[in-house]
């Protein structure tokens, strides 16, 4: 499109294409929103001609009569060249919104369709409609930009035009040019008085400071002989910030003769060359200059969007680089692989220790983790569970009675023996083994869980290594569990093996007896009260209490319930006197033997008592006349059903002793089991894990295998690398763009100021931001900087003056604004 013509924005196409590529690579659907360009002016001023010249193709209806009767929104769409590289009509086509999918390759057809569509909506008799015609032109040679051809301002209604046609058209035009991003091409014919220019007047309304209005003066070729537009072009008549461009379009005759745009441009060029009056005004003469002015604005616009784009690319660059760093580099050399493996193993062990210590960087605030869980298991599960156990809860009074009776053997025991206490307390201590082992198992499980959490992300990359490490640590922890369990078993066995009744915290025999007596007494009292309520004689109870008291606490009743009087009160004294006895009856430390007595002393007594009950009846039997048959002893023998008072007392004593001793053991276990687990399992793992890893996994022949990555990961890394490359390229491109823009300007109106920065004529900073390069163009001529930077020497400084009221548009003749 527009070969040889000054197609609007053509010089910035490569830049914009690059930027669009960057947008595409960023996965963004957004594009650079270039400003819209709208042509305004009075009827037949040459608006369509100007637009056509800028686009470089003939496709708009033009004529001496009213032609543009509906706004034509023309979207130029940059489309890729055909793959065969062939240039030609096939590369460029038009599509109307109202005929979707239909491609117009013949541009004369497009013109005919515009005319037909205009007639359809606005009638054939000069009617005007504000309903848009939307046309897209696809070409590899265009910039993505939107141009708007608007109906011309007309004063006198003709044909089907309503009486308020002028107001309607003005309103329609304003609705387009009021937008701040719209560049206004205010087209005024040179053969009419510029001071009465409708275009400039409309533009002034929409753009009071003239920051986005370019004055276009057409028909320079048909001015009155002896007149010229030099003063207009120089802005001497009506100053305009962005200045004026004078053009010579095709005349009606040229149109009729189908003169090409190329020829028209050549003619325009020769016209200005042959008109001495325009010599020295080359920067504001000709369609190519108008295209350049627009290009400059587009370049400025692009520059304004660059920082935002740059920061987006930079943010994405950082994110992608970070992601790539996570995957690391592929290490090829053995030495590199070895170092990598060592590094991973060390990092893993460090992470494991940190997790146990609670120094993990990613400390959770949502739940307990790592070492805190270990502490919880020890204190809130293990210790708490042990504390809650009542050592007597699974021993019934019957059990105790049975144990006592079994312990005394065939004799009828006189004193409470220590054997049942030891048997029972051992049994209870034995119960502590299971929870202790379970606690070790819990901690083992925790360590396994922690091991899985260590470097979870990093090791995703190396599944083989992860698996091997899991195996090693699993085996190592299992091996660590064994000594921990063995130690725990030992601890419990030690406790069971020696019942240290001399322990300072042990209740002691005498105290236990005392307490038991109180207990039994109060129990009895409670029972008596209950009985008295039921009308039972109190005396009976008193006598029974009397009978109990003198017997002393350690004497046992006979099988028939009577007391073995000869022994009551003897034992404690006797034991206390015995050499080597562990304590005295009154002492706070009172050993079990001293409470219950020792069997040797008791043996003869017991024997005699046993003899009485077993041998005597046999002798009698021999002499009896008739045989008295004994009932067979049952297979399973249980103590007599009724518990005697003495038995109750003994049971109470045993229970007290049990509880007291169990408490001591429990405290030991609560303390030493966690210590054993920490020593043999947790800390051992912390200390030795690294060594174990090195010995088992750090083998040169395994490096390759250990560090093998899954295929998809390699692909992912490749993709990320590519993305990173693209982004880096995009970033460089963005960095280079200002320079390229400079190149774009070169040979046109670009200058450099003392800083070496490029300067573009007539572009106000207000349009694109104050820190834009163009801001210096706004300097007052009084400002020394402006002398260097403003524009080519031919332009008067007032042309670019920053204060329109002082030197710019403020000097518009007021009369032209009276209209509105």
Ligand X SMILES: Nc1nc2c(ncn2[C@@H]2O[C@H](COP(=O)(O)OP(=O)(O)OP(=O)(O)O)[C@@H](O)[C@H]2O)c(=O)[nH]1
Q: Minimum distance from CB of 160 to ligand X (Å)?
A: 15
Could you count the other beta carbons within 10 Å of the beta carbon of residue 587?
A: 15
> Total residues contacting ligand X (rule CB under 6 A)?
25
**Residue 645 touching ligand X (CB under 6 A):** no
Bridge-based pairing of strands 133-139 and 72-78 is parallel
Q: Which of 24, 72, 54, 629 is nearest to 295 (CA)?
A: 54
Q: Minimum distance from CB of 189 to ligand X (Å)?
A: 7
Are 667 and 503 in contact by the 8 Å Cβ rule? The answer is no
**Residue 45 touching ligand X (CB under 6 A):** yes
Q: Which is nearer to ligand X, 246 or 370 (CB)?
A: 246
**Residue 286 touching ligand X (CB under 6 A):** no
Binding segment toward ligand X, per CB under 6 A, in 43-51, 583-591, 676-684, 776-784 = 43-51
635: which DSSP letter?
S
User: Could you give phi then psi for residue 74, rounded to 5 degrees?
Assistant: -105, 110
Binding segment toward ligand X, per CB under 6 A, in 36-44, 165-173, 449-457, 664-672 = 36-44
Helix or strand (DSSP H, E) at 759: strand 758-759
**Residue 350 touching ligand X (CB under 6 A):** no
Q: Is 495 exposed, middle or buried (0-12, 13-18, 19+ CB in 10 A)?
A: buried
**Residue 66 touching ligand X (CB under 6 A):** yes
**Residue 170 touching ligand X (CB under 6 A):** no
Q: Which is nearer to ligand X, 268 or 670 (CB)?
A: 268
At residue 74, the 3 state secondary structure works out as: strand
Q: Minimum distance from CB of 152 to ligand X (Å)?
A: 3
The CB-nearest residue to ligand X is 152
Q: Minimum distance from CB of 222 to ligand X (Å)?
A: 5
Site for ligand X in 665-724 (CB under 6 A): none
Among 11, 36, 48, 723, binds ligand X (CB under 6 A): 48
Bridge-based pairing of strands 182-189 and 133-139 is unpaired
Q: Minimum distance from CB of 247 to ligand X (Å)?
A: 6
Q: Which is nearer to ligand X, 291 or 520 (CB)?
A: 291
Two tokens at 542?
């008193």
- Residue 74, beta-bridge partner list: 135, 147
**Residue 70 touching ligand X (CB under 6 A):** no
Helix or strand (DSSP H, E) at 38: strand 36-41
Helix or strand (DSSP H, E) at 244: strand 244-246
Binding letters toward ligand X, positions 241-260, x by CB under 6 A: -------xxxxx--x-----
Q: Minimum distance from CB of 159 to ligand X (Å)?
A: 13
Q: Which is nearer to ligand X, 11 or 44 (CB)?
A: 44
Q: Minimum distance from CB of 772 to ligand X (Å)?
A: 33
Binding segment toward ligand X, per CB under 6 A, in 45-53, 128-136, 463-471, 812-820 = 45-53
Q: Which is nearer to ligand X, 257 or 806 (CB)?
A: 257
Q: Which is nearer to ligand X, 252 or 566 (CB)?
A: 252
CA gap 625, 605 in Å, rounded = 33
Binding segment toward ligand X, per CB under 6 A, in 38-46, 113-121, 290-298, 784-792 = 38-46
**Residue 222 touching ligand X (CB under 6 A):** yes
**Residue 161 touching ligand X (CB under 6 A):** no
**Residue 223 touching ligand X (CB under 6 A):** no
DSSP assignment of 121-163, as one string? HH-SSS------EEEEEEETT--SEEEEE-PPB-SS--TT--T
At residue 285, the 3 state secondary structure works out as: strand
Two tokens at 305?
């969007």
Q: Alpha helices, DSSP H only, in 454-462?
A: none
Dihedral angle at the C-alpha atoms of 758, 763, 769, 773, nearest 10 degrees?
10
Distance from CA of residue 13 to its chain's centroid?
39
At residue 557, the 3 state secondary structure works out as: strand
185: which DSSP letter?
E
**Residue 62 touching ligand X (CB under 6 A):** yes
Are 135 and 158 in contact by the 8 Å Cβ rule? The answer is no
At residue 164, the 3 state secondary structure works out as: coil
Q: Minimum distance from CB of 8 to ligand X (Å)?
A: 16
Q: Which is nearer to ligand X, 45 or 412 (CB)?
A: 45
Q: Minimum distance from CB of 220 to ligand X (Å)?
A: 7
Could you count the other beta carbons within 10 Å of the beta carbon of residue 786?
A: 20
Among 2, 127, 152, 288, binds ligand X (CB under 6 A): 152
Q: Which is nearer to ligand X, 44 or 144 (CB)?
A: 44
Dihedral angle at the C-alpha atoms of 99, 105, 106, 112, nearest 10 degrees?
10
Q: Minimum distance from CB of 217 to ligand X (Å)?
A: 9
Among 12, 38, 55, 67, binds ligand X (CB under 6 A): 67
Q: Which is nearer to ligand X, 221 or 663 (CB)?
A: 221
Q: Which is nearer to ligand X, 6 or 16 (CB)?
A: 6
CA gap 106, 91 in Å, rounded = 12
**Residue 118 touching ligand X (CB under 6 A):** no
**Residue 43 touching ligand X (CB under 6 A):** yes
**Residue 513 touching ligand X (CB under 6 A):** no
Q: Which is nearer to ligand X, 249 or 765 (CB)?
A: 249
**Residue 47 touching ligand X (CB under 6 A):** yes
Distance from CA of residue 597 to its chain's centroid?
75
At residue 364, the 3 state secondary structure works out as: coil
Q: Which is nearer to ligand X, 277 or 363 (CB)?
A: 277
> Could you identify the residue written with the tokens 């590289």?
85
Q: Which of 19, 35, 24, 27 is nearest to 309 (CA)?
A: 19
At residue 362, the 3 state secondary structure works out as: coil
Helix or strand (DSSP H, E) at 246: strand 244-246
Q: Which is nearer to ligand X, 47 or 204 (CB)?
A: 47
CA gap 112, 120 in Å, rounded = 12
Q: Minimum distance from CB of 267 to ligand X (Å)?
A: 10
Q: Minimum distance from CB of 214 to ligand X (Å)?
A: 16
Residues with Cβ within 8 Å of 706's Cβ and at least 6 positions away in sequence, in order, are 337, 341, 462, 464, 465, 468, 697
Among 2, 9, 35, 46, binds ligand X (CB under 6 A): 46
Binding segment toward ligand X, per CB under 6 A, in 56-64, 131-139, 568-576, 711-719 = 56-64
Q: Which is nearer to ligand X, 189 or 591 (CB)?
A: 189
Site for ligand X in 541-560 (CB under 6 A): none
**Residue 188 touching ligand X (CB under 6 A):** no
User: Could you give phi then psi for residue 537, rounded to 5 degrees?
Assistant: -65, 130
**Residue 68 touching ligand X (CB under 6 A):** yes
Q: On the CB side of 401, how many CA atoms lie within 13 Å of its CA?
A: 16
Q: Minimum distance from CB of 144 to ligand X (Å)?
A: 24
**Residue 111 touching ligand X (CB under 6 A):** no
Q: Minimum distance from CB of 10 to ligand X (Å)?
A: 21
Binding letters toward ligand X, positions 191-220, x by CB under 6 A: ---------------------------xx-
DSSP assignment of 85-106, as one string? ---SGGG-EEEETTSTT--B-S
Q: Which residues bind ligand X (CB under 6 A)?
A: 41, 43-49, 62-64, 66-68, 152, 218-219, 221-222, 248-252, 255
């Amino acid at each position: 499109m527009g070969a040889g013509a000054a197609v609007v924005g053509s010089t910035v196409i490569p830049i914009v294409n690059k930027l669009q590529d960057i947008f595409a690579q960023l996965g963004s659907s957004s594009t650079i929103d270039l400003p819209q360009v709208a042509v305004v002016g009075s009827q037949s001023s040459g608006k369509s001609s100007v637009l056509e010249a800028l686009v470089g193709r003939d496709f708009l209806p033009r004529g001496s009569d009213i032609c543009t009767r509906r706004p034509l929104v023309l979207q130029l769409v940059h489309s890729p060249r055909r793959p065969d590289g062939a240039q030609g009509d096939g590369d460029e086509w038009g599509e109307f919104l109202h005929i979707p999918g239909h491609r117009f390759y013949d541009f004369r057809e497009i013109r005919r369709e515009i005319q037909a569509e205009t007639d359809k909506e606005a009638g054939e008799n000069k009617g005007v409609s504000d309903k848009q015609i939307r046309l897209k032109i696809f070409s590899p040679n265009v910039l993505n930009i939107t141009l708007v051809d608007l109906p011309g301002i007309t004063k006198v209604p003709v044909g089907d035009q309503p009486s308020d046609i002028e107001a309607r058209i003005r309103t329609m035009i304003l609705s387009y040019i009021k937008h701040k991003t719209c560049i206004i091409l205010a087209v005024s014919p040179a053969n009419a008085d510029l001071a009465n220019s409708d275009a400039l007047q409309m533009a002034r309304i929409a753009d009071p400071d003239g920051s986005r209005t370019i004055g276009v003066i057409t028909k320079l070729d048909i001015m009155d002989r002896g007149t010229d537009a030099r003063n207009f072009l120089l802005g001497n008549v009506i100053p305009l910030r962005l200045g004026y461009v004078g053009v010579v379009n095709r005349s009606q005759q040229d149109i009729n003769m189908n003169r090409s745009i190329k020829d028209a441009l050549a003619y325009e060029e020769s016209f200005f060359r042959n008109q001495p009056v325009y010599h020295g005004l080359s920067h504001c003469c000709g369609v190519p200059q108008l295209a350049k002015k627009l290009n400059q604005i587009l370049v400025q616009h692009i520059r304004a969007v660059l920082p935002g784009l740059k920061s987006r690319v930079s943010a994405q660059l950082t994110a992608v680089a970070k992601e790539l760093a996570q995957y690391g580099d592929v290490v090829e050399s053995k030495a590199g692989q070895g170092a990598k493996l060592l590094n991973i193993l060390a990092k893993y062990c460090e992470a494991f220790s940190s997790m146990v210590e609670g120094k993990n960087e990613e400390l959770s605030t949502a739940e307990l983790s790592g070492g805190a869980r270990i502490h919880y298991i020890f204190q809130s599960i293990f210790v708490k569970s042990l504390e809650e156990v009542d050592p007597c809860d699974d021993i019934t009074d019957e059990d105790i009675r049975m144990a006592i009776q079994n312990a005394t053997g065939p004799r009828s025991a006189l004193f409470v023996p220590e054997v049942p206490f030891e048997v029972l307390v051992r049994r209870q201590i034995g119960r502590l083994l299971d929870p202790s082992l379970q606690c070790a198992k819990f901690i083992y499980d925790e360590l396994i869980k922690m091991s899985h959490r260590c470097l979870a992300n990093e090791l995703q990359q190396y599944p083989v290594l992860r698996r091997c490490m899991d195996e090693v640590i699993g085996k190592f922890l299992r091996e660590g569990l064994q000594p921990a369990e063995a130690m725990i078993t030992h601890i419990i066995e030690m406790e069971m093996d020696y019942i240290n009744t001399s322990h300072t915290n042990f209740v002691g025999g005498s105290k236990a007896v005392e307490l038991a007596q109180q207990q039994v007494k109060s129990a009895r009292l409670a029972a008596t009260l209950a009985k008295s309520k039921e009308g039972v004689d109190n005396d009976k109870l008193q006598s029974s209490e009397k009978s109990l008291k003198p017997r002393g606490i350690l004497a046992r009743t006979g099988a028939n319930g009577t007391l073995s009087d000869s022994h009551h009160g003897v034992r404690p004294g006797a034991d206390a006197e015995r050499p080597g006895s562990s304590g005295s009856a009154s002492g706070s430390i009172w050993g079990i033997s001293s409470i219950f007595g020792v069997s040797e002393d008791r043996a003869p007594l017991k024997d005699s008592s046993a003899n009485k009950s077993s041998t005597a009846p046999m002798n009698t039997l021999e002499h009896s006349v008739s045989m008295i048959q004994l009932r067979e002893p049952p297979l399973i023998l249980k103590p007599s059903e009724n518990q005697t008072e003495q038995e109750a007392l003994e049971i109470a004593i045993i229970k007290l002793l049990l509880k007291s001793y169990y408490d001591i053991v429990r405290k030991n276990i609560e303390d030493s089991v966690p210590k054993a687990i920490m020593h043999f399992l947790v800390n051992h793992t912390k200390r030795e894990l690294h060594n174990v890893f090195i010995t088992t996994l750090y083998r040169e022949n395994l490096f390759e295998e250990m560090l093998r990555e899954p295929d998809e990961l390699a692909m992912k890394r490749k993709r990320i690398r590519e993305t990173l490359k693209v982004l880096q390229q995009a970033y460089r491109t963005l960095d280079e763009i200002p320079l390229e823009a400079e190149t774009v300007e070169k040979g046109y109106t670009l200058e450099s100021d003392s800083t070496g920065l490029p300067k573009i004529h007539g572009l106000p900073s207000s349009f694109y931001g104050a820190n834009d390069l163009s801001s210096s163009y706004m300097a007052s001529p009084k400002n020394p900087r402006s002398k260097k930077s403003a524009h080519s020497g031919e332009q008067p400084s007032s042309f670019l003056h920053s204060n329109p009221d002082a030197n710019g548009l403020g000097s518009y003749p007021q009369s032209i604004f009276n209209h509105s």
